[in-house]
Structure 1
Amino acid sequence: MKVALLSDCYLPRLGGIEVQVHDLARHLREAGHEVEAFTATRSASGQRQVTEVIDGVPVHRLAIPLPGDLPVNPFAPPELRRRLRSGGFDAAHVHMGVVSPFGMDSVRVLLGLGLPTAVTWHCVLAWAAPAVRTLGYVGRWSRRGVALSAVSAVAAEPLHRMVGPDVPVTVLPNGIDVRRWTPVDREPNDVVRVVTAMRLAARKRPVQLLEVMHRARELAAGVDLRLEVLGEGPQRGGMERWVAEHDAAGWVNLPGRLPREHLHDEYVRSDLYIAPAELEAFGIAALEARTTGLPVVGPKRSGISEFVQDGVNGLLVDDDSEMAGAIARLAREAALRERMRAHNVHTQPDQAWPTVVEQTIALYERAERHAAAR
């Protein structure tokens, strides 16, 4: 099968969608499929209108100069249409965030060409859902045969409300290379080390995490409980001010963004992972940490509920008060942490790439059936 993957954001930008779409392209190729990617993101060298090959995947860049290198190009559709028409593709897969103008243009172009089309949402629409429902494009796409999906049941739920119970919305999870996150034996820590990896943006709630950890330390009095926040972003200044105001430099470390290959080492050195974001559609970093063996603490209503079973390999909570209590409980109860770690070490996650590739091809086959019916 020859597949076109289309996404506003792509490498060299680093984020959940960018990395996942490229990883999907690589694993589809390894499964014997031909893949090309289309994006409004410029290249690492700054080129905006270029086709380059990354890990064997041709990447068509249709970007224009914009402040902050925003991945937006309202002039892309004619060239996109020409390349898709001449490309001999069997199916196309569009990847959507909350705001994805290139993705929306791509769907319109694909429907005009009659190409079997799948769309996956990597976000929880939440506050944007009323506007999206009013605009009505999700319903129109479904009526025209687009195969709809989302990365978790949490992300799929608002789509279900928009299109009605008779339209399937598949859960197509993010994938993980289990070999990259293999657990290893380690010596016990003298302290209880909590780790998280995130973009330091408001929706990820990094400052609220500091408040939660402050309360957890009070609840776990007598335990040396420390926090490692791996990431970079606009909330760094607010976090640094909080640390200074609360004299927390002794138990909070903000080393910045680490290369992906270094995250494994950080997880192996840690005791548990915290995922504070309430509007997390999936939480790939939490899944990676879980695969190395870490118990995960996070909200029940976030996408981590796809791979965290409360009381088995982590703790799911309703609010920040419960989150602080869960962290304190795991800090105090080493035996519980070790039982959860043993489960994670010996139980491979359902989101391993071979399984996700099979589910992805099934989504494309559904899109093909819809296109044939039209």
Structure 2
Amino acid sequence: MRIALVSDCYLPRLGGIELQVHDLAVQLIRAGHEVTVFTITDGPSSAGDVPVVRLPAYGGVPLRAAVDRLRAMLPGFEVVHCHSSLVSPLAWQAARLAHRPFLTLHSLPSASMPWPLAGIDRYVGDVQWTAVSEAVAEVLRNQLPERAIGVLHNGVDPELWRRYRRTDHTLTIVSTMRLVRRKRPLATVRILEQIRAAVPSAVPLRAVVVGDGPQAAAAARAVRRRGLSEWVDLPGRLTRFEIQQLYASADVYLAPAELESFGVAALEARCAGLAVVAMASGGVGEFVRPGIEGRLVHSDSEMAAVAAALLSDRAELSRIQSFNRHTDPVMTWRNVLAQHLTAYSPRAVEAQPPSASRR
């Protein structure tokens, strides 16, 4: 199949949508399909083996030339799959122009902040809405009751996160995120402080909060102000390989975001053998079952208490870690790719001229 993936954000920018769209493109190409990514993120005309069409934009809004190019190029694809965050003008424009495209929502809207979903739905027209998790799908179903909402999960290659052998190390807590308000890095620092207070002082601890973003400086100040600098590290952005090495010497992963649509970083940590402690309000619950892959909590204080209890109970921690390291989640790329191709197949048939459909 000829498949167009459309995402406002893409490599070399790093983030959940960026990496997932790239990984999906790679998996589709390996399966023998022709894939092109369309984006307004600046960069080279390819990302590894993935061809990329970089369209002109100003202030994050595609220019008329970008729209004209989409209009000219998208009819050449059998499947158009647009990937949307809460604000994704390129993805919405492509969905409006394409013939019955997929439009996948990667973000979990906040109930306290009205999101004009009905208006977006009217704008894009005849699309197949999908979501990266049941948590996101439920929001779409509630607001678009006339729409059939599917789920196309994000994927992971578990073996990539198990390539490094675990070594002896100080008990280590990890969290990986963009340091933006929505991901709650400052709350993470407060949770770490509570964990240290709850775990006996004779037990050495280490914590690493990986990532960069607008709240990086505020997070660093909070670590210093709370006297956590001796055991809490903020290394900034790390590569995937560096994160894989870090996870091989870590024990508990914290996912403090209350609006986590899926939680790719938590899924990767789970595959690496870390016990995951996450908020129950997002999509992480689809691959973290209480007492099996980790724990789900409902508040920051509960997250601190649960994480501290795990760090203090080596037998329970080892049991969860062993299960996670030796048991694949449902969202392996093998399963997720099959999920996508099953969804795409009817659209590919529709895109063919009548003679091709009859062959």
Tell me, yes or no, whether TM beats 0.5.
yes
TM-score by length of 2: 0.92
Contact 1:150 1:173 in 2 (8 A): yes
Determine which of 236, 249, 254 is the counterpart of 1:256: 236
In structure 2, what is the Cα distance between the partners aligned to 1:126 and 1:367? 32
Change (3 A) 1:371 1:156: farther
Structure 1 residue matching 2:277: 3-state secondary structure: strand
Residue 328 of structure 1 corresponds to which residue in structure 2? Answer: 308
Query: Paired residue for 1:48?
Result: none
State the secondary structure of the residue aligned to 1:247.
coil
Equivalent in the alignment of 1:213 = 192
Aligned to 2:141: 160
Q: What per-residue deviation string (whole Å, max 9, x for no partner) do you get for residues 248-281 of structure 1?
A: 1112111111111111000001111111111111
Match of 1:39 in 2: 39
Corresponding letter in the other structure for 1:149? T
Which residue number corresponds to residue 2 of structure 1? 2
Distance in 2 of aligned mates of 1:206 and 1:258: 16
Q: Secondary structure at the match of 1:273?
A: strand
What one-letter code is carried by the residue in structure 2 that aligns with 1:131? Answer: W
Could you say which residue in structure 2 is the equivalent of 1:100? 88
- The answer to whether 1:23 aligns with 2:23 is yes
Q: 1:78 to 1:140 in 2, by over 3 A?
A: closer
- State the distance in 2 between where 1:196 and 1:157 align: 27
Q: What amino acid sits opposite 1:25 in the alignment?
A: A
SS at match of 2:35: strand
CA positional deviation for 1:128: 8.1
For 1:131, what is the secondary structure of its paired residue? coil
Query: TM-score scaled to structure 1, two decimals?
Result: 0.88
**SS of the residue 1:9 aligns to:** coil
TM-aligned CA deviation for residue 204 of structure 1:
0.7
In structure 2, what is the equivalent of residue 63 of structure 1?
56
8 Å CA contact 2:78–2:347 kept in 1: the answer is no
Inter-partner Cα distance in structure 2 for 1:123 and 1:96: 8
Provide closer, same or farther for how the CA distance between residues 185 and 62 of structure 1 changes in structure 2, counting only shifts above 3 A. Answer: closer
Q: What is the SS of the residue equivalent to 1:297? A: strand
1:277-356 paired onto structure 2 within 5 Å:
277-356=257-336
How far off is 1:20 after superposition? 0.8
Whether the 8 Å CA contact 1:95–1:120 is kept in 2: the answer is: yes
SS at match of 1:342: helix
Gaps of 5+ in 1: 45-51
Distance 1:35 1:219 in 2: 51
Q: Offset at 1:224?
A: 2.2
Aligned with 2:103: secondary structure? Answer: strand
Q: Give 1:233 deviation, angstroms.
A: 1.1
Judged with a 3 Å threshold, the aligned counterparts in structure 2 of structure 1 residues 39 and 267 are, in CA distance, closer, same or farther, namely same
Which of 175, 180, 186 pairs up with 1:201? 180
- Find out whether 1:229 has 2:219 as its counterpart: no
Q: Tell me if structure 2 keeps the 8 A contact 1:212–1:323.
A: yes
**Residue type at the aligned position of 1:82:** A
Match in the other structure for 1:47: none
Instruction: Quote the RMSD (CA, aligned, Å).
Output: 2.0
Listed one character per residue, the Cα deviations across residues 29-50 of structure 1 (whole Å, up to 9, x for unaligned) are 1111111111111115xxxxxx
